[in-house]
Amino acid sequence: MSDTQLKSALDTLKTTGVRITPQRHAILEYLIETMSHPTADDIYKALEHKFPNMSVATVYNNLRVFRESGLVRELTYGDNASRFDFVTTKHYHIICESCGKIVDFHYPGLDEVEHLAAHVTGFKVNSHRLEVYGTCPDCEEKATKLQ
């Protein structure tokens, strides 16, 4: 499953003339297998045993390459470090305000919001960003136990 995802991603890179280096391979592999939303530093730390000399700039450079190839989506959070999401399908995120956990969920059609926004502002609309914030089950349980 994740093997085909990796192969497909490598193909996408090859066809756009991007060289497959060991570092690139490892970063992609990590993004796909963890199924999470790591920061650049998470990736850097996870791979340092395999690539003791890898620079953090290499991680950032390659995440940019992946983003530009449409393989990866960058999730920005103000002050905090960006998180990177290996893109499979269109989906939204719900974020735990207590522990920072990010969980995917699907929701169809917010086209209506885009249309209304375009109509009332005169903008030409390209995209939208939606996130839901709350408390994850784990953190919720911890909170109730303390009471």
Query: Under the rule (CB under 8 A), what is the footprint of its own copies?
Result: 74, 76-79, 82, 92, 94, 96-97, 103, 105-107, 110, 113-114, 116-118, 120-137, 140
The item of DNA, Zn ion, its own copies, none sharing an interface with residue 118, based on CB under 5 to 8 Å by kind, is its own copies
Question: Does 96 help bind Zn ion (rule: CB under 5 A)?
Answer: yes
CB of 113 to its own copies, least distance (A): 6
124, two tokens: 């030409």
CB of 34 to DNA, least distance (A): 17
Q: Spell out, one character per residue from 65 to 104, where the chain touches Mn ion: x when CB under 5 A holds, - when not.
A: --------------------x------------------x
CB of 5 to its own copies, least distance (A): 23
User: Contacts for 131-137 with beta carbons within 8 Å, 24 or more apart?
Assistant: 131/92, 131/93, 131/94, 131/95, 132/92, 132/93, 132/94, 132/95, 132/105, 133/94, 133/95, 133/97, 134/94, 134/95, 134/96, 134/97, 135/96, 135/97, 135/98, 136/96, 136/98, 136/99, 136/101, 136/103
